[in-house]
Amino acid sequence: MGATPHAALSTTSTPHGSTVTDLTESIESAQQLTVAWRALVLDRAADADVRDLPGISVRWADCRFSFYNCITLTEPGAGADLVARRLGQAADIMRAKKHPGLLWLFEDLLDEEARTALAPAAEQAGLRHAFPGTGMAGDLLPVPDPVHPDLTFVRVSTDEHLRAYADLQSHAYGLPLEEGRDGLVGSAYWKNEMHAYLAMRGDVPVACAATVEAAGRLFVAFVATDPRWQRKGYGEAVTRKALHEGARATGLTRATLHATVAGAPVYPRIGFTPNSPMHFYGLAE
């Protein structure tokens, strides 16, 4: 999926007085997910389910690391009836898989009626809301090479590094260690294509972040801090490191990411601007 032009999310009035939202950045945010996750899931599983269906993008490695099992809706301005149908289709795809995953939904791609009807439509499809998030982007690169008095930074280049990175993900998101390791350990793509960094406090990895080129953007992925070391600026510092090195290697000037609630306050300090609210859904029990 190709890159789109970028512009600030804004609203304008039509001659009839209605409001039209500029969806450019929300479309960009959804496209960044589909581009970045295509490479990640194909690296994890050569037979991964990678399909672009009408209104639905599937990026499903069907591994134990649930973040590698992903579906998103892709139609801008989708109405309530269409969204309800797409949610049902997405849930059917998810039920056919061996391992659980998530539907990533970009709220600003829905029209006003569909947003109002989203909760009951998701329930009707057999989906439960897992957690919210926010798409963000910014023309912020390059950023200075960060310095933090507690930290040194190590680029991920070995399976030992990948195991430490995976374990930070598992600790941060409350996953069993084997689930995170199933997604990352053994990956040549993570060692060679990702600008992935560990923040080290002495010889202890305490935070991690990665960037990767995706359709003319530098996409930030899998930022995590060990819960025992949060609120010390470690996540922000290692994110700046991944951005600095990714920009230096690629020459890109624009970066994108998808933030959880916990991470959302950090990224505007780096220069990111929120665009579309996001919702993550899993299958109901």
Which residue, 57, 239, 83, is CA-closest to 151?
239
Please give the structure tokens belonging to residue 89: 């289709």
Average pLDDT over residues 22-45: 95
Coil, strand or helix at 62: coil
pLDDT classification of 12: cutoffs 50, 70, 90: very low
pLDDT classification of 18: cutoffs 50, 70, 90: very low
Please give the structure tokens belonging to residue 8: 């600030």
pLDDT digits (tens, 9 = 90+) for 109-157: 999 999 999 999 999 999 999 999 999 999 999 999 999 999 999 999 9
Is the pLDDT assigned to residue 237 strictly greater than 70?
A: yes
The interaxial angle of helices 177-184 and 159-173, nearest 10 deg, is 140
> Radius of gyration of the chain from Cα atoms?
19
Asked if residues 170 and 205 have their Cβ atoms less than 8 Å apart, the reply is no
Coil, strand or helix at 135: strand
Asked if residues 151 and 45 have their Cβ atoms less than 8 Å apart, the reply is no
Task: Give pLDDT, residue 285.
Answer: 76
Distance CA 211, CA 126 (A): 34
pTM: 0.90
Average pLDDT value over all residues in the chain: 92
- Whole-number percent of the chain with pLDDT over 70: 92
Distance CA 48, CA 27 (A): 24
Please give the structure tokens belonging to residue 45: 């599983």
How far CA 107 is from CA of 28, 37, 132, 220, 271, in Å, comes to: 13, 19, 10, 20, 22
pLDDT classification of 262: cutoffs 50, 70, 90: confident
pLDDT digits (tens, 9 = 90+) for 46-93: 999 999 999 999 999 999 999 999 999 999 999 999 999 999 999 999
Domains in the chain and their CATH numbers? 11-136 (no CATH), 152-253 (3.40.630.30)
Is the pLDDT assigned to residue 16 strictly greater than 60?
A: no
Task: Give pLDDT, residue 20.
Answer: 37
Which residue, 171, 149, 138, is CA-closest to 237?
149
